[in-house]
Amino acid sequence: MRYSQFAPAAISLLLALPCVAQTDASAKATATGVKKGMTWKFISTNPPTGTIRVGCVNCGAYQGDTPCTTELPLLCIRKSGPGFPLPPPASVNNTDQYYKWAGGVVGTTRPTAAPATRANANALCVKEFGADWRVAEFHDGWGWHFQAYGGVGDPSKPFWVDINDQPNATCW
As a whole number, mean pLDDT of residues 123-144 equals 98
Q: Which amino acid is at 48?
A: P
Dump pLDDT digits (tens) for 47-103: 999 999 999 999 999 999 999 999 999 999 999 999 999 999 998 999 999 999 999
**Domain definitions of the chain by residue range:** 2-32, 36-169
Please tell me the distance from the alpha carbon of residue 56 to that of residue 38, in angstroms, as a whole number: 9
Handedness of CA 128, 134, 138, 142 (dihedral sign): negative
Please tell me the distance from the alpha carbon of residue 172 to that of residue 36, in angstroms, as a whole number: 10
Beta strands in 38-92 (DSSP E): 39-46, 51-55, 66-67, 75-78
Quote the pLDDT of residue 169: 97
Cβ atoms of 77 and 140 closer than 8 Å = yes
Could you give the C-alpha distances from 11 to 24, 68, 94, in angstroms and in order?
20, 41, 53
pLDDT reading at 2 higher than 70: no
The alpha carbon of residue 126 and the mean position of all alpha carbons in its chain are separated, in whole angstroms, by 19
